Amino acid sequence: MPSFDSHHQPDGRLLQSGVKFTVIPETLQSPFKDHFPAYYKGLVRAEPGGFVIHPKFVNNAEKIYNMKVRSDDVWIRTFPRSGTTWTSELTWLIMNDCNFEEAARVGQPIRSPNLDANYINHWDKFAAEGSFDTMDIITIDEIEKMPSPRVLKCHLPFDLLPPNLLDTAKVIYVARNPKDAIVSLFYFHKLVNLCTFTGDLETFVDYFLDNKVLWTPYFGTVLDAWGKRSHPNLLILFYEDMKKDIRAQIKRISTFLNKPVTPEQIEKLVDHVRFDKFSKNESVNYTKEIKAGVGKDDPNNTFVRKGQTGGWKNHFSPEVNRKIDEWIAKNLEGTGLKFVTELNDQ
Ligand code: PPS
């Protein structure tokens, strides 16, 4: 069983890279601690960069920064709720000659582990309850020993990852328009016990725009990846493009990875990730983990939830929407990046 350091002291911890982690003072006070009761030690900010992360991450930060990147690795990076699971599944299958049997037999958290899982899951709690063995948790040490080719994923910015990552391995960054990502992340906070948000969506939006939500700032990682878009080892995908034409995006992934897929395999991949089917696929939908205590077992709020573009329109008041529009416009100014926030055919 992996050891868990419950006496971690993240405050003021300095990485070899020069990144420093400091507890955000407001996250230890009301109203934040009432809205996010699970963060009993607050949230931590990494500087430079401003990335907001769970204090438990700090225990693993150096280990992740020093991971040995392999030239046949594929690293999937996203802002959370942007299509990580969907893209990981396609990528893993393309890298593994469309071995659908293996994809069904072995859960995605094992086949394509999330580096963030080391702090997402309350290991100490599960170990105490004896439910640890039911969980598909994979440690950084285990990831280091995985056979090649590895398909890894995370929500971390480049400066918390091995510095040679992009020059050594293939990286896929998946972006989703921030309005749908915010709504999806709000529901994730209602689902997953690590996060637990007690307030309403409007309050969540305020924390989000103020960069006080786990994994924010949204534009930090998105614009960092966008700025590197001409790097030959980086492929940027958009959730909305995947919704519009998944076949075209499968072909892009396959070309980028130098892993050809036949027209028949493409059709099988399309069918495999069809939303209604994917949401019921226990190898990817985290129902096992949620039932084991990672989240709340709620048929109306599942990990693979709605899978739509434009769902934000049913959630934001005109005033909240205006605030988000201004925030988007300010952050995208001069970047050349534009988001699709609505789709007719999906
Ligand atoms: S996480 O928690 O960061 O790993 O989440 P992530 O996988 O990045 O994103 C979850 C959202 O992606 C939707 N999803 C899909 N949409 C369309 N087709 C497929 N196959 C698919 N699989 C996952 C999922 O429903 C989440 O979005 P919302 O808007 O909440 O439904």
143, 152 in Cβ contact below 8 A?
Answer: yes
Domains and CATH numbers, the chain: 67-332 (3.40.50.300)
Query: How much is the pTM?
Result: 0.94
Kindly give the distance from the C-alpha atom of residue 264 to the centroid of ligand 1, in angstroms, as a whole number. 25
pLDDT score, position 120: 57
Q: Can 155 be counted among the known catalytic residues?
A: yes
Amino acid at 296: K
pLDDT above 60 (res 338): yes
Kindly give the distance from the C-alpha atom of residue 232 to the centroid of ligand 1, in angstroms, as a whole number. 27
pLDDT above 60 (res 4): no
**What's the whole-number mean pLDDT along residues 76-100?**
98
Annotated catalytic residue: which of 155, 231, 272, 315?
Answer: 155
Q: Which residue has the higher pLDDT, 169 or 297?
A: 169
Of 79, 84, 85, 242, which is best to mutate to test ligand 1, by the most ligand atoms within 8 angstroms of its C-beta? 85
134-143, 267-276, 298-307, 325-334: least confident range: 134-143
pLDDT above 50 (res 6): no
For residue 343 the two structure tokens come to 């789709």
**What's the whole-number mean pLDDT along residues 331-337?**
98
pLDDT score, position 12: 73
**What's the whole-number mean pLDDT along residues 133-143?**
70
* pLDDT per residue as tens digits for the range 177-236: 999 999 999 999 999 888 889 999 999 999 999 999 999 999 999 999 999 999 999 999
Backbone angles phi, psi at 23, to 5 degrees: -65, 135
End-to-end CA distance of the chain: 44
Amino acid at 252: R
Name the band, by pLDDT with cuts 50, 70 and 90, for residue 299: confident
Tell the residue nearest (CA) to atom 6 of ligand 1: 81
**Cα(109)–Cα(117) distance, rounded to whole angstroms?**
9
* CA nearest to 73, candidates 163, 166, 158: 166
Q: What is the mean pLDDT of the chain?
A: 90
Sheet with 20-23, side-by-side order of all strands: 13-14, 20-23, 44-47, 51-53
Tell the residue nearest (CA) to atom 5 of ligand 1: 81
Query: Is the shortest distance between the CB of 190 and ligand 1 below 6 Å?
Result: no
Tell the residue nearest (CA) to atom 9 of ligand 1: 81
For residue 334 the two structure tokens come to 């001069």
147-161, 261-275, 289-303: least confident range: 289-303
pLDDT score, position 201: 98
User: Which residues, including other chains, have CB under 8 Å from residue 143's CB and lie 6 or more apart?
Assistant: 67, 113, 115, 150, 152
* pLDDT per residue as tens digits for the range 193-203: 888 899 999 99
pLDDT above 70 (res 129): no
**What's the whole-number mean pLDDT along residues 35-57?**
91
Name the band, by pLDDT with cuts 50, 70 and 90, for residue 128: low
Helices (H), the chain: 32-35, 57-65, 84-95, 100-105, 108-111, 117-120, 123-129, 140-145, 165-168, 178-191, 201-209, 218-227, 239-244, 246-256, 263-272, 275-280, 287-289, 318-332
Tell the residue nearest (CA) to atom 11 of ligand 1: 81
User: Which residues, including other chains, have CB under 8 Å from residue 181's CB and lie 6 or more apart?
Assistant: 79, 80, 81, 82, 218
Give the atom of ligand 1 at the shortest distance from the alpha carbon of 180.
29
Kindly give the distance from the C-alpha atom of residue 132 to the centroid of ligand 1, in angstroms, as a whole number. 25
Query: Is the shortest distance between the CB of 309 and ligand 1 below 6 Å?
Result: no
Query: Is the shortest distance between the CB of 304 and ligand 1 below 6 Å?
Result: yes
Kindly give the distance from the C-alpha atom of residue 302 to the centroid of ligand 1, in angstroms, as a whole number. 10
